[in-house]
Amino acid sequence: MRELNLMYLGSDSSTDVISFDNSVKKHELLADLAISCETAVTNARRFGSALQDEILRYVIHGLLHLLGYDDNNKTNRLAMKKRQEYLLETINHEL
């Protein structure tokens, strides 16, 4: 993930998820998500969450980026996290 982050985003650090928007048309969503399963395992243990929830959290986070959410400052990060956790809870409630 560190190599991908450096190659595509210019950041020499590891991350949990990277979104790649491959859409061609305006109202189309075609994308790839790179998810660090290693980070998911570590964070699931660290936070006492299920591995499935941690991976789903990364999928949601990546999709939110593709939909225009950003976490580049504290305000945006808090808003994005709130939306992410709401969606995770909603999905888990439906399962």
pLDDT in single tens digits along all 95 residues of the chain: 999 999 999 999 999 999 999 999 988 999 999 999 999 999 999 999 999 999 999 999 999 999 999 999 999 999 999 999 999 999 999 87
Rounded-to-10 torsion of CA 63, 82, 42, 58:
-10
* Environment class of 7 (CB within 10 Å of its CB; exposed 0-12, middle 13-18, buried 19+): exposed
First to last CA, the chain: 30
Taking phi first (over 0 means left), then psi (-120 to 50 degrees means alpha), and beta for anything else, what does residue 93 get?
alpha
Tell me the domain boundaries of the chain.
Answer: 2-94
The fold of the 2-94 domain, in CATH, is: Collagenase (Catalytic Domain) (3.40.390)
**66-83: per-residue pLDDT in tens?**
999 999 999 999 999 999
